[in-house]
Amino acid sequence: MDKISVVTGVAVPLKRANVDTDQIIPAVFLKRVTKTGFDDALFSAWRQDPDFVLNNPAFAGGRVLIAGPDFGTGSSREHAVWALRDYGFHAVLSPRFGDIFRGNSGKQGLVAGEISESDLVALWAAIDAQPGIEASVDLVAKTVTIGDFAVPFLIDDYTRWRLLEGLDDIGLTLRNEARITAFEEHREAWRPRTIPIQPVQPIQPIMINDGAGE
């Protein structure tokens, strides 16, 4: 996961509240077995509407999504974060997030910052005045700036540290690789352990003569 300190790019206003994960990415797309390539699935139902914000050329290449309250509620699916990232968003700002979505965001390199509802309205107004304007989300200062207007956002210190350091769950584990290796070297042989996968020999087909044609 890449380190994140500042996210700068086109600000996209999503003027909807209670956007759950099924609206972010419908369940039909969860059948895919890859972790990438979900950009077409993001808000797929809403994108059928020509007036939906993502269909506005002014917001092409959006990187900062500024959404209404209660964003990312509903079922636990990391695909919601993957879809946002694959589309190009690196930060989402909202007055409230679903707890699981917020947790998944920090693990997948998406900044989820909480802003007040009054600041949300002010940010939307700034975007309405100049569609396509860029926003700058500063993870160090915990501020979002649009033009000359800047407001604070909240993010817990642990998630903020992980994003600044670019640490997903695997990255966190690898920080202790030397200690893990040293522990395994002195681990008693009788204890359960994880071993490398052994190569599987291909199965040769068996020809069966069923007597047909005799």
Q: What pLDDT digit, counting tens, does each position of 202-214 carry?
A: 777 777 766 655 5
Tell which residue, 115, 24, 15, has the closest CA to residue 78.
24
Q: Specify the CATH number for the domain of residue 60.
A: 3.20.19.10
Contact by Cβ (8 Å): 105, 112: yes
The answer to whether position 201 is within a domain reads no
Q: What is the largest CA-CA distance in the chain?
A: 89
* Pairing mode of beta strands 143-146, 134-138: antiparallel
Please count the structural domains in the chain.
Answer: 1
The answer to whether position 115 is within a domain reads yes
Tokens of 82: 């993957």
Q: Residue 193 contacts by C-beta under 8 Å, 6 or more apart in sequence?
A: 184, 187
The answer to whether position 198 is within a domain reads no
Range of the domain at 54: 6-172
Q: Residue 71 contacts by C-beta under 8 Å, 6 or more apart in sequence?
A: 14, 19, 92, 94, 96, 97, 98, 101
* DSSP secondary structure letter of residue 128: H
Tokens of 146: 């649009």
pLDDT of residue 210: 63
The answer to whether position 213 is within a domain reads no
Tokens of 10: 């086109």
Q: What's the pTM value of the predicted model, to 2 decimals?
A: 0.85
pLDDT of residue 80: 96
Q: Is the pLDDT of residue 188 over 60?
A: yes
